[in-house]
Amino acid sequence: MSAKTPIFTGSAGGLVPIPGALMTKNAFGIDVLPRPFHAPRSRVKSLVPARGTSDIFYPNLRATGNYTILENEGLTCVLTVEYKGILNNAIPDVLISSGLSTGSTSATSGSDGPAEDQRTWEIVYYSPTRTYRYVTNGRPSGPKYRDYKGGPVNSATIYTQSIKDGNGRPRGGTGTINLTYGAQLNGLVSNPVPGTPYYENEEVWAGVIILR
């Protein structure tokens, strides 16, 4: 939806738009517009647009209910109303950040037998991590990027590995424990964008090694 050409000579119920508002796009891809208005001091609070009210020039942007009032000398104030939404009705592509951290895991086999036959694995591994931030039209029902381009992250890589018996002595062999590589969802957070149908979502995935 194309924006209307701003004309700042009119008044919207006592609110007069102030030229120069700067629109930004946040980390999820939502357009954010703090729209300043001149407003009569005596009526300023009653003129605050209700949550969900469309911006006067960009109908896809909606008032979130957040606003500030800057007192001027005389009979007017500056009312700044926050509007959010998706400007051209096109949900933006996912934004991804990648990183690398370390993880650790341990498991024991043969714990009921003689100490010499017991095996305890302790593994420290490099864990690739990836964060997906994206917008949906409504609350998501679950993670969206589980199978994104072949998987959310690459497999973890072993940094150090030690195997000891029940007496604490170094031992070799794999016994009955198997290594499984994969990716794990560490968190899915979805927050509504006030006044709009959109949700800002963040998925955090990490590579893991599981001992069985």
Tokens 């591994």 appear where? Answer: 125
Nearest C-alpha neighbor of 127 from the set 80, 182, 86:
182
| Helices (H), ranges, 33-157 | none
E strands present in the chain? 16-17, 24-25, 31-40, 61-71, 76-85, 95-109, 119-137, 157-164, 179-192, 198-211
Q: Would you state the pLDDT for residue 3?
A: 54
Q: Could you state, in order of their start, the residue ranges of all structural domains in the chain?
A: 16-85, 95-211
Contact of 57 with 12, CB cutoff 8 Å: no
Identify whether the C-beta of residue 61 lies closer than 8 Å to the C-beta of residue 83: yes
What token pair was written down for 165? 């018996």
Q: Report how far residue 61's alpha carbon sits from residue 41's, in angstroms, rounded to the nearest whole number.
A: 26
Q: How remote is the C-alpha of 57 from its chain's centroid?
A: 28
CA 195 to chain centre: 18
CB 33 within 8 A of CB 84: yes
The dihedral through the CA atoms of 38, 43, 44, 50 has a sign that is negative
Q: What is the pLDDT of residues 149-202, one digit of tens each?
A: 556 787 889 888 898 888 888 887 666 778 888 888 888 999 999 999 999 999
Burial group, residue 42, by CB count within 10 angstroms (0-12, 13-18, 19+):
exposed
pTM of the prediction?
A: 0.78
Q: What is the pLDDT of residue 9?
A: 44
Tell me 125's DSSP state. E
Q: Mind listing the pLDDT tens digit of every residue in the chain (212 residues)?
A: 445 545 444 455 688 999 989 999 999 999 999 999 999 988 898 999 999 999 999 999 999 999 999 987 778 899 999 999 999 888 988 888 889 999 999 888 877 778 887 888 899 999 999 899 999 999 999 888 876 555 678 788 988 889 888 888 888 766 677 888 888 888 899 999 999 999 999 999 998 988 87
Q: What is the pLDDT of residue 85?
A: 96
